[in-house]
């Protein structure tokens, strides 16, 4: 995806350096306000912002993350943080606030179960890590378009499989619509962090579901200018 794509008055593009600060704040606000785990833990936006900021430099380098802006106002209305599922943790991840550890632990355990027994070289598994959409963009298919364009961008860079952790009903529904298959689940009610049922208060969302789908059926040729997909 080497140029902007526009649909229903929204422009989509691969993240650029000027987008980083706004994307970081945007996703932090979305996660702390609307994501089931963030809401259950009452995570302040600043805690989540630190997490996103750790991944932001890599997002610019690998060219897998997409942002969406209103074509008229230029305001950011959506973002999909994506990366290489085989990449090691980014520098600075050990400095993330302790309050985020229950979320990180649940996701890490689920991801480890998925990786077990799989050969996972860099450049093959595209990780759709965090999707955020502004309520002001409702009805404009921003989440769906971000998902579609992100997968197309990854496929053109040589990725063969897309992986996502759906933490709520909406993200699970979007993934299903785009051909994702459920592989692993971690029910909120049974998860324990340091012996405590930290997500037992979550209602209306049963579990985190790890899902995947092949990108080969998109039938897209590799972009010769897109690189191999592997992080530098």
Confidence band, pLDDT 50/70/90 cuts, at residue 130: very high
- pTM (predicted TM-score): 0.92
Tens digit of pLDDT for each residue in 103-129? 999 999 999 999 999 999 999 999 999
Q: Report the side by side order of strands in the sheet with 5-7.
A: 5-7, 10-14, 66-70, 76-84, 125-133, 161-166, 207-214, 181-187
Q: Report the DSSP pairing between strands 5-7 and 207-214.
A: unpaired
Mean pLDDT computed over every residue of the chain = 92
């Amino acid at each position: 995806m080497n140029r902007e794509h526009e649909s229903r008055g929204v422009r989509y593009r691969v993240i650029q350096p000027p987008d980083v600060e706004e994307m970081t704040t945007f996703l932090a606000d979305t996660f702390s306000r609307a994501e089931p785990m963030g809401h259950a833990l009452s995570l302040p936006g600043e805690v989540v912002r630190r997490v996103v900021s750790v991944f932001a430099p890599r997002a610019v380098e690998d060219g897998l993350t997409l942002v969406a802006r209103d074509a008229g106002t230029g305001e950011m209305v959506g973002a999909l943080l994506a990366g290489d599922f085989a990449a090691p943790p980014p520098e600075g991840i050990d400095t993330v606030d302790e309050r985020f550890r229950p979320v990180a632990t649940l996701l890490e355990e689920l991801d480890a179960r998925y990786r077990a027994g799989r050969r996972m070289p860099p450049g093959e598994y595209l990780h759709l890590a965090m999707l955020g959409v502004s309520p002001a963009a409702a009805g404009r298919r921003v989440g769906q378009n971000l998902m579609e364009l992100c997968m197309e961008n990854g496929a053109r860079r040589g990725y063969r499989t897309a992986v996502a952790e759906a933490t709520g009903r909406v993200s699970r529904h979007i993934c299903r619509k785009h051909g994702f298959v459920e592989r692993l689940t971690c029910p909120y009610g049974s998860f324990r962090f340091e012996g405590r049922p930290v997500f037992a208060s979550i209602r209306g969302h049963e579990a985190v579901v790890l899902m995947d789908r092949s990108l080969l059926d998109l039938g897209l040729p590799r972009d010769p200018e897109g690189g191999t997909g592997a992080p530098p």
